[in-house]
Structures are given as C-alpha cells and as structure tokens.
Amino acid sequence: MPQTVLLVGTRKGCFLVTSDDRRDWEVRGPFCEGWPIYHAVFDESTGTIYAAGASEWHGTTIWRSPDLGETWEQSSEGLAYEDDGRKLTKVSGLTIRDGRILAGAEPAGIFESADGGRTWSLLTRLEGLPGRPEWDEPSNQPPGHLGLPAILPHPSEDDRFWAVVQGIGIFETTDGGSSWTPRNRGLRADWPREHEEIGFCVHKLVLAADGERMYQQNHCGMHRSDDAGKSWTEITEGLPTDFGFAAAAHPHDRDTFYVVPLDPGHGRCMPDGKAAVWRTRDAGETWQRLDRGLPQRDAHLGVLREGMAIDRLADPGLYFGTSTGQVFTSADEGETWTEAAGYLPGIHSVEVAVLD
Amino acid sequence: MAHLRLPPTLQPLFAGLPRRLDVDAPTVAAALEQLDERWPGLQDRLCHRGPELRMHIHVYVDGRRADLDAPIGDTSRVDVIAAISGG
C-alpha cells in the first residue's frame, strides 16, 4: 500500500496527516510558522509541497517544502499588483500546471511561477470580462472581498483551464489566460444581476473522470454540466439543503460525486448537528446520505470550499476537514468514516497525495 | 550607527536574521532596504509595494511613531513592532 499524505491548511499553519494503510494516521506539524494557510498542494513531478499563506501582519507569501515538510522556505517575490496600487490580500487556489504553479489571488487575478515558487509574476487580472470595472471596484465588494479562489486545469490541454471568481462566476480560457469566456449559463442566482453572464456564486467546481462533465456546489444549489461548463443543470433535489462549499468528483466514475450540504444561514454547519457527506452515483438523479462513523449528535461542523479531497487509488479514499479542526477519512468511498485528527486549528483546505 | 529592533516573527523566515542589529542609514526606508539586500524578501514582510508600511506593522524612532520617511540619527533606536492583536 502506498503512503497517503493529507495536506491540511489551517488557521495556524500547515499540517501533514500521513498513513501507510489509510486507517491509522499520524499528524505532523504545524509547519509554515503558524501562518494561516489557505491551500496546500503536492507537485507529483518534483515532490514539492506548496502552501499559500496570508498573515495579517506580514502579508501574503507561498511556502514550499521539497522534502515532505522537513524544511520550508517562502517567497513572495513578484506577488503584487504593480499597476493600480491595489493591495494583494490573499492567495489560494494553488494549481500545478505543465511545470508551472498557478495561484489565485484576492483581489481577483492569477499569478504564476515557472521556477518552483522562487519568483512569481502576474499572469492575468481577467481583463475584458463583462462588468469587470464594476465588480472589481473595491467599494462595491462585500466583506472579505471577491477573490479568485480556484483554478481548475483541463486534464490534457495545457492552455485550457477554468477560474472561479467569488460572487461572479466561472470563466474559461483556452489560450493560457489571454482571453476568457463566462461559463455560467443555466446557473441559479437568488438575487438581481446587472449582467446576464455573470453574478453567480460558485463555491466549488470539479471535473468528473471523463474530463468533460463538471459538477459544482453553488451558493444556490448543486449543478452539473455535461458539456465542460457551457451549460448547467441543477441537481439539488434529494439533498437536505441547497448550500455548501466542499465537493469532490470520483476519479474513475463520471456519475459519482460527493458534497457536504450545510445550513445556508449564518451558521453554515451540517444540518441538525449531525455530520454527513452526501453522494450521488447517477450524476445527481438520486443522493445517498453517508454518515457511518461520523458524529450524529451536537456536531455543528462546517467544511470550507477546499475542505474535501479524494485520492486516485482504485478504491478511492475520501477525506474532509472541518472549520473546527477535525479530519475525517474514509477508505471505502465514503461508506464508513474514522477521525484521523480531532484537535487541529480550523481547517481551510485538505488535499491528498499518494506516494508510491 | 542606529540600533534596530525587529519583531520575533521575522527570525524564522530569514536564516541568520538577529532580533537586534545596527544599521547606518538616513531614514527608516533606507534601513529596511539595507536589510532587504542582505535578507531578500524581508522588506516585503513589513511593507506593501510603494513602499508603505503594512497596516499592522508600526515603527518607532526614539520612542515616537514614525513612517518610512522618518530620519534616523547616529544614535537612534528604531523599534519595528508587529501590532499586538490576534488570537
């Protein structure tokens, strides 16, 4: 059995949760000097961990470890908006792409590094999108601002990827970020919108096993696209709420998809204090509640947008971390769960690496 | 030489960086630029592009709140403080 490593970004540093059998887990950390880490990823080609951090005192930086957490360095060289004085407040949404690292930023933009995270340069601020001058204006933005928290690469086309802008929607590029097309047709938004193509609150976008189908957890419902985002169909029926953040697509079955429905009010916790992941095996026609091993009493747990991951083994393992510091793991595709860590700082992100 | 004191949160980020050191610079900005030459990236941890001090980084020269343009004397004490907050 290969070693499984969970990369856990928390309010107080990055942690690595490792196992040789996906049942007994060891926690290592905190790393990154206790900085808030919003996303940590593993580069399979180099064996390097990258972790995006933002300190209230010392700004935004991206940490890297070439030896599975033994040593760490950080660099923010080039991580800044030069032209208009806009202050970079956060990076997240790290993506490894064709030898480059891409990082989503707040305010919305994408930075890239071609030298393993030592230096960074601005790839795009998504210029030319519908209504951008209005939604990119700081005085028009809600608390927390509108960042670009996720970049989803196409599995085989290097210059093609999708970017999510908070509260605005999904945009696709096929030329490496030079031009963008909104991909929000069919999504629901329960508020007035000034532009037909934008104004949608996409929480999490994932690509199914076939590289064509997509799923998303939206502020307003669960949605599926069978044409790589060109059109969307809502698949919320059968779920306890239409709200949540985290989602994961099965790596081998295009019809299987996992979500964590949450109370849509200010609490944003799992309903009724009972923890559950929900799964569809038929592309959203029906849903099953998966809660064996998860707490079913007084469990007011939240899971954020990058808080769930699935590995690529033949029988995939599923993992999620909560905003109150628990990590739950399943080695049988969500049928049964165990707690791998119970007392971490609040968790922003969980990613998984399988080391041969 | 002015005497400079740095917040403890910086030492883990830059190998060999002491908490206290002497600098020969006419202003706070020049002092931080000197440090950045020796420990690349340090200025970015204290300042936004511009440069301007980050919101929660305060500088005092001889006990008085100062900005980046503040002059430093030969015997000045310069305290760089990470604001007391968080939890």
Q: Which of B10, B44, B83 lies nearest to residue A76, judging by beta carbons?
A: B44
Cis peptide before A30 (omega within 30 of 0): yes
Neighbouring C-beta atoms of residue A207, cutoff 10 Å: 20
Tally of structural domains, chain B: 1
Overall size of chain B counted in residues? 87
Which residue stretches of chain A have pLDDT < 70?
A: 83-84, 142-145
pLDDT tens figures, B36-48: 999 999 999 999 9
A240 belongs to a structural domain: yes
- Give the model's pLDDT for residue B82: 92
Q: Does residue A136 fall inside a structural domain?
A: yes
Q: Which residues of A touch B45 (CB under 8 A)?
A: 58-59, 61
Is there a contact between A58 and B10 if contact means CB atoms under 8 Å apart? yes
Domains identified in chain A, total number: 1
Dihedral sign, CA of A242, A244, A249, A253?
Answer: negative
* Other Cβ atoms within 10 Å of A309 Cβ, number: 22
Lookup result for tokens 């690509």: A207
Closest to A49 measured CA to CA, from A24, A27, A19, A70: A70
Integer CA distances (angstroms), A207 to A26, A91, A233, A346, in order: 30, 22, 15, 27
Tell me which long-range contacts A189-194 makes (C-beta under 8 A, separation of at least 24). Answer: A189/A219, A189/A220, A190/A220, A194/A131, A194/A134
Nearest to B56 among A33, A57, A85 (CB): A57
Q: What angle do CA A229, A218, A198 make, to 5 degrees?
A: 60
Contact yes or no for A57 and B57 at CB 8 A: yes
Contact assignment for A77 to B40 by CB distance below 8 Å:
yes
Q: What SS3 state is found at A272? A: helix
Considering only CB atoms, B86 lies closest to which of A56, A76, A77, namely A56
pLDDT at A265: 86
A163 in a structural domain: yes
Residue-level pLDDT at A302: 98
pTM score, whole prediction: 0.95
Given an 8 Å threshold on Cβ–Cβ distance, is A58 in contact with B46?
A: yes
Give which of B62, B82, B78 is closest to B23, Cα–Cα: B78
Percentages helix, strand, coil for chain B, rounded to the nearest 5?
20, 30, 45
Q: In terms of DSSP bridges, do strands B77-82 and B2-5 run parallel, antiparallel, or are they unpaired? A: parallel
Domain hosting B42: range is 2-82
**Å from A47 to nearest chain B CA?**
22
- Minimal Cβ distance to A77: which of B41, B50, B86: B41
Which residues 42-81 in chain A show a CB within 8 A of chain B?
Answer: 55-59, 61, 74-77, 80-81
Report yes or no on B14 lying in a domain.
Answer: yes
Task: Please answer whether residues A148 and A108 qualify as being in contact, where contact means their C-beta atoms are separated by less than 8 angstroms.
Answer: yes
B75 CB within 8 Å of a chain A CB = no
Locate the chain B residue with the closest alpha carbon to A56: B56
User: Searching chain B, which residue's CA lies closest to the CA of residue A11?
Assistant: B87
Residue A2, domain member (yes or no)? no
Domain assignment of residue A268, yes or no: yes
Q: Which residues contact A243 (CB under 8 A, 6 or more apart)?
A: A219, A220, A261, A262, A263, A264, A268
In a domain, B50, yes or no: yes
Contact yes or no for A58 and B86 at CB 8 A? no
Q: What is the CATH number of the domain that holds A241?
A: 2.130.10.10
Kindly determine whether residue B45 and residue A82, on different chains, have CB atoms separated by under 8 Å. no
**Residue A222 neighbours by CB under 8 Å, 6+ apart:** A215, A216, A234, A235, A236, A239, A242, A244, A247, A259, A284
CA distance B33 to chain A (A): 15
- The CA distances from residue A295 to A238, A325, A329, A346, in Å, are 22, 14, 13, 18
pLDDT, residue A83, reads 67
What CATH number does residue B57 fall under? 3.10.20.30
Residue B87 lies in a domain: no
Nearest CA in chain A to B12: A33
Q: Is A46 part of a structural domain of the chain?
A: no
- Structural domain that includes position A214: 67-318
